[in-house]
């Protein structure tokens, strides 16, 4: 591995660790890191909506913010002369990386969660699943439902552009 690649990997690892170490939904240290990359933290309203959504997290910064940091790091290194790093940058698996991070900050789903989800599903079903179910969209990458009352292009939770019918 050459020096440019080593530095890139180190930077990616450092920010991934910082995201994971952050308090649930971000904290001062994480915000400082965002600031150092010229990234605005999510609005308080959006954080609030996400914390109350079905995309539960037990710890860590929101995946969408980590994605923005990865994007900045990739951009920063994009003028590299290293062929090795160029190759890594063009094959960077953003969706995979963000998904893996989400798996790490998800709460452990025990028995009670399974029952809770089951009863929610049954309630929804009995309320009539024909009701607007067909135009509900969810994120193809993380499964977050699209909040129809809000207008946005990318998934609020993980930042992916990909939506599909739920
Ligand atoms: Zn998503």
41 in any annotated domain = yes
Is the residue at 84 inside a domain? yes
Instruction: Tell me which long-range contacts 9-12 makes (C-beta under 8 A, separation of at least 24).
Output: 11/73, 12/70, 12/73
What secondary structure, in 3-state letters, does 45-83 show? HHHHHHHCCCCCCCCCCCHHHHHHHHHHHHHHHCCCCCH
pTM exceeds 0.85: no
Ligand 1 geometric centre to CA of 75 (Å): 22
136 in any annotated domain: no
Q: Residue 123 domain-assigned?
A: no
Residue 64 placed within a domain: yes
- Count how many domains the chain has: 1
Q: What is the pLDDT of residue 130?
A: 44
What is the per-residue pLDDT for 118? 56
146 Cα to the center of ligand 1, angstroms: 9
Distance 1 CA to ligand 1 centre (A): 32
| 159 in any annotated domain | no
Residue 153 lies in a domain: no
Q: What is the pLDDT of residue 108?
A: 82
CA of 116 to the centre of ligand 1 (A): 22
What averages of pLDDT result for each successive group of 10 residues across the chain (166 residues)?
97 98 97 98 93 93 98 97 97 96 86 53 50 65 81 88 76
- Residue-range definition of the domain harbouring residue 33: 3-105
Q: Domain for residue 157, yes or no? A: no
Distance 8 CA to ligand 1 centre (A): 25
For residue 129, what pLDDT is reported?
A: 45
């Amino acid at each position: 591995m050459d020096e440019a690649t080593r530095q890139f990997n180190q930077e990616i690892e450092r920010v991934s660790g910082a995201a994971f170490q952050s308090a649930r939904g971000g904290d001062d240290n994480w915000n400082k890191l965002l600031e150092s990359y010229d990234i605005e933290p999510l609005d308080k309203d959006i954080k609030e909506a996400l914390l109350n959504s079905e995309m539960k997290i037990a710890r860590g910064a929101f995946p969408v913010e980590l994605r923005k940091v990865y994007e900045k790091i990739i951009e920063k290194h994009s003028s590299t002369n290293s062929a090795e790093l160029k190759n890594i940058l063009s094959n960077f698996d953003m969706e995979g990386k963000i998904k893996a991070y989400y798996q790490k900050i998800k709460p452990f789903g025990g028995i009670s969660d399974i029952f809770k989800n089951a009863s929610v599903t049954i309630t929804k079903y009995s309320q009539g699943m024909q009701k607007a179910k067909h135009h509900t969209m969810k994120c193809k990458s993380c499964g977050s439902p699209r909040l129809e009352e809000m207008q946005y292009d990318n998934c609020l939770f993980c930042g992916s552009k990909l939506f599909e019918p739920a």
